[in-house]
């Protein structure tokens, strides 16, 4: 297929008539072409005729496609018989500037009568749309002349194993009923820097109709069809997750599940992996909406400790719980492994920014006198960053925390007896998690699932202890209780209230504006899975392990301006914006692309909390703290941060904490 496209792209266009000269906007503006618009915005001439007319013209001539609607009718090899009124319609929303620019944006509106989808399936739009997107991706693999996103290619946002609310396929109202809207990208074919009309005809009038017909026409919706199985699998997972609180659980791992992945950079199940078998004492049985009965290991609420030798599967179980906040496709191995929807993974993040966060439950009485009830720093240590992340997760509504000893700061987690004897309590400003995890659950109902292999400190405070033995979980709670020591009464955990971002230049930057420069700057944009660019700042999301798809990161970037424009506390802003997208769809965004996937509120707030331009209003006062996004907009304190001779109280606190 790739060689065929190269041949098409390399074909000589032959002699061009005067009408096919290089497109000149000044000369050709207003000239009527075969594809000029007719009534209701549709082209009078067909797409094929217009592309043939543009063949050999300058690449900018493709702009004539923008905003036009072209019916996708039968082509060679595609069965006919579809009434024109029921035919899908192609609209080009964006035309790339040149062959090397990001690809053009296509929108295909498909009447539901074309697909054969009716009734009950429309009541489960997320798995329905997810399956349809995968069907289109599969058809592209079969029919597209080449992969990738370069010239002559078609592309749709390709999902991973998680079933997410994506913008690539949506259901929208139409004049004669609901439509399926498919958003794709196309690298419009070029010959050098000229329009390759022959290849464009092949791509948009040949390949695209085949893809649409193959993936979306008269879809099998029978009881045993792949679509029904996909929707049923999603519905069972949603039901499982909804039942966890009533059963006193924060997680469920089904018997027979395959948790190990093929590689560290792969989400494919590991061939030959040992299926999970739950211990009898933790086995839970549930009847699913599909009618099947499933058994598996229930992870109780409270403090759960996962122990075991190295390479026996402790972290693998925790990773499955991390991903269990999402539903998975059939065959993934984790499709019946679920966690409460707001479970949040935490880890240490040296160097992250913290703004106006109350970490006094873990850090207090600093020698510098820094107020830890409203703590800010541009360079947090491991323990400070993890304490801030825990508090921020609770602010966002997390009812379960997932923590791995391997990725945590030791002094945040524990403080052994010798160290307590050597350093008096009144000389140690850090209160470790082992002293806080019990009141965190007892006072506020926030559970913790913790992996530990090197310290038994949490045995004293654990409600449940699970040992992994060659990937086989064993309930060793009773044995651990024999080893546990007395637990001193812990101080109450002061769960902080919500923090409110302050208005100002930084908020303007998050909305894509720049008042000082008098012009609009680029809006926030995702550079990859782990990075969002906001003005001159980069938001580092590498520690947010439950951000699983780059399309989610793009969505976070797209939602930041909406969150900046909202009133009230940060978590409330994020939840309102998230709920609007969930309820009203992706069209709530000012500009919708086909490469977005809905993140959780927790990842949205995590991104805002890690933005170095964030400013938080101090409770009861009008002042705010935090840095801003641009050197031209920084306050005087920001300039001091670049002065080697100046050290803020927050920097001194960090230095003291890092000092041996």
The answer to whether residue 33 scores a pLDDT higher than 90 is no
pLDDT mean over 512-522 = 55
Q: What tens digit of pLDDT does each residue of 330-385 get?
A: 999 999 999 999 999 999 999 999 999 999 999 988 888 889 999 999 999 999 99
Note the pLDDT of residue 639.
34
CA angle 440, 443, 448 (to 5 degrees): 30
Separation in Å, CA 425 to CA 168, 430, 434, 438: 56, 9, 15, 19
Quote the DSSP letter at residue 598. P
C-alpha span between 46 and 188 (Å, rounded): 17
C-alpha span between 468 and 306 (Å, rounded): 7
C-alpha span between 308 and 320 (Å, rounded): 17
* 640: confidence class by pLDDT, cuts 50, 70, 90: very low
- DSSP per residue, 225-256: SHHHHHHHHHHHHHHHHHHTGGGTEEEEEETT
* 658: confidence class by pLDDT, cuts 50, 70, 90: very low
Least confident range from 101-105, 174-178, 236-240, 552-556: namely: 174-178
C-alpha span between 564 and 579 (Å, rounded): 16
C-alpha span between 360 and 467 (Å, rounded): 33
C-alpha span between 576 and 592 (Å, rounded): 19
Structure tokens at 242: 């909804």
**Phi, psi (deg, nearest 5) at residue 469:** -125, 100
* 177: confidence class by pLDDT, cuts 50, 70, 90: confident
Structure tokens at 519: 């012009």
Note the pLDDT of residue 508.
55
As a residue count, the chain comes to 660
Q: What tens digit of pLDDT does each residue of 375-415 get?
A: 999 999 999 999 999 999 999 999 999 999 999 999 999 99
**Phi, psi (deg, nearest 5) at residue 386:** -70, -35
Q: What is the overall mean pLDDT for the chain?
A: 85
Note the pLDDT of residue 156.
97
84 and 100 Cβ atoms separated by less than 8 Å: no
Note the pLDDT of residue 637.
36
This prediction's pTM: 0.85
C-alpha span between 40 and 652 (Å, rounded): 66
The answer to whether residue 496 scores a pLDDT higher than 90 is no
**Residue 107, beta-bridge partner list:** 91, 183
Structure tokens at 582: 């969930």
β-pairing, 400-404 vs 344-346, is parallel
Helix (H, G, I), strand (E, B) or coil at 7: helix
C-alpha span between 328 and 138 (Å, rounded): 18
Q: Give percent of the chain above pLDDT 90.
A: 72
C-alpha span between 149 and 156 (Å, rounded): 10
Handedness of CA 631, 635, 639, 642 (dihedral sign): negative
Largest CA distance in the chain: 93
**Phi, psi (deg, nearest 5) at residue 504:** 155, -170
Separation in Å, CA 459 to CA 402, 432, 450, 466, 627: 16, 15, 11, 11, 41
Note the pLDDT of residue 277.
98
Least confident range from 169-183, 205-219, 400-414, 504-518: namely: 504-518
C-alpha span between 431 and 229 (Å, rounded): 50
b/e sequence 112-146, b meaning 16+ C-beta within 10 Å: bbbbebeeebeebebbbbbbbbbbbbebbeebbbb
Instruction: Single out the residue of 385, 388, 382 nearest to residue 360, CA to CA.
Output: 388
- The kind and range of the H/E element at 27 are helix 25-28
Q: What tens digit of pLDDT does each residue of 180-197 get?
A: 999 999 999 999 999 999
468/636: higher pLDDT: 468
293/83: higher pLDDT: 293
C-alpha span between 402 and 120 (Å, rounded): 36
Instruction: Single out the residue of 112, 144, 140 nearest to residue 219, CA to CA.
Output: 112
Note the pLDDT of residue 370.
87
pLDDT mean over 168-186 = 94
Structure tokens at 435: 């002293």
Separation in Å, CA 408 to CA 206, 313, 402, 411, 529: 54, 18, 11, 9, 22
Q: Which residues contact 533 (CB under 8 A, 6 or more apart)?
A: 522, 524, 525, 526, 527, 539, 557
């Amino acid at each position: 297929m790739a060689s065929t496209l190269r041949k098409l792209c390399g074909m000589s266009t032959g002699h061009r008539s005067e009408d096919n000269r290089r497109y000149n906007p000044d000369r050709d503006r207003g000239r009527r072409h075969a594809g000029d618009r007719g009534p209701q915005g549709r082209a009078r001439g067909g797409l094929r005729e217009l592309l043939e007319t543009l063949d050999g013209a300058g690449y900018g001539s493709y702009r004539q496609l923008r905003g036009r609607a072209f019916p996708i009718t039968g082509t060679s090899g595609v069965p006919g018989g579809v009434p024109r009124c029921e035919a899908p319609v192609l609209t080009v929303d964006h035309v790339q500037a040149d062959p090397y620019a990001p690809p053009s944006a296509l929108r295909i509106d498909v009447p539901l009568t074309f697909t054969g989808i009716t009734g009950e399936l429309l009541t489960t739009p997320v798995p329905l749309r997810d399956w349809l997107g995968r069907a289109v991706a599969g058809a592209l693999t079969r029919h597209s002349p080449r992969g990738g996103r370069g010239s002559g290619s078609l592309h749709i946002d390709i999902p991973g194993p998680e079933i997410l609310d994506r913008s690539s396929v949506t259901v929208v109202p139409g004049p004669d009923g609901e439509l399926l809207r498919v958003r794709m990208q196309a690298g419009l074919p070029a010959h050098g820097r000229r329009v390759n009309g022959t290849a464009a005809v092949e791509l948009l009038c040949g390949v695209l109709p085949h893809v649409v017909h193959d993936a979306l026409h008269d879809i099998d919706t029978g009881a045993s069809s792949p679509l029904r199985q996909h929707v049923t699998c999603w519905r069972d997972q949603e039901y499982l997750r909804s039942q966890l609180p009533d059963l006193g659980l924060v997680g469920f791992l089904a018997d027979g599940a395959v948790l190990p992945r093929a590689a560290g950079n792969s989400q494919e199940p590991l061939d030959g992996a040992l299926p999970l078998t739950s211990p009898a004492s933790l086995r839970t049985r549930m009847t699913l909406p599909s009618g099947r009965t499933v058994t598996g290991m229930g992870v109780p609420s409270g403090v759960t400790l996962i122990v075991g030798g190295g390479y026996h599967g402790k972290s693998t179980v925790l990773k499955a719980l991390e991903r269990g906040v999402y539903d998975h496709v059939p065959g993934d191995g984790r499709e019946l492994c679920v966690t409460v929807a707001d479970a949040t993974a935490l880890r240490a993040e040296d160097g992250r920014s913290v703004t106006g966060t109350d970490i006094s439950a873990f850090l207090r009485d600093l020698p510098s006198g820094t107020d830890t009830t409203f703590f800010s720093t541009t360079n947090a240590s491991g323990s400070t960053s993890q304490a801030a992340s825990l508090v921020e997760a609770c602010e966002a509504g997390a009812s379960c925390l997932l923590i791995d000893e391997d990725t945590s700061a030791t002094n945040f987690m524990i403080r052994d007896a010798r160290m307590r004897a050597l350093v008096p309590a009144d000389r140690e400003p850090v209160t470790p998690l082992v002293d806080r995890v019990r009141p965190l659950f007892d006072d506020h109902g926030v559970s913790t699932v913790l992996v530990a292999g090197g310290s038994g400190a949490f045995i004293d405070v654990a409600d449940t202890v699970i040992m992994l033995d060659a990937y086989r979980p064993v309930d060793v709670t009773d044995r651990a209780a024999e080893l546990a020591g007395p637990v001193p009464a812990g101080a109450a955990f002061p769960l902080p209230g919500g923090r409110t971002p302050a208005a100002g230049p930084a908020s303007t930057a998050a909305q894509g504006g720049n008042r000082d420069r008098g012009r609009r700057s680029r809006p926030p944009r995702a550079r990859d899975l782990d990075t969002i660019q906001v003005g001159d700042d980069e938001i580092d999301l590498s520690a947010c392990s439950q951000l699983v798809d780059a399309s989610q990161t793009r969505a976070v970037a797209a939602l930041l301006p909406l969150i900046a424009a909202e009133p009230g506390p940060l978590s409330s802003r994020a939840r309102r914006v998230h709920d609007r997208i969930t309820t009203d769809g992706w069209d709530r965004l000012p500009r919708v692309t086909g490469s977005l996937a809905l993140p959780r509120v927790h990842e949205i707030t995590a991104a805002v909390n890690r933005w170095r331009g964030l400013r938080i209003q101090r409770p009861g006062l009008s002042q705010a703290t935090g840095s801003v996004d641009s050197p031209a907009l920084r306050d005087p304190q920001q300039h001091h941060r670049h002065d080697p001779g100046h050290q803020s109280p927050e920097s001194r606190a960090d230095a003291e904490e890092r000092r041996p």
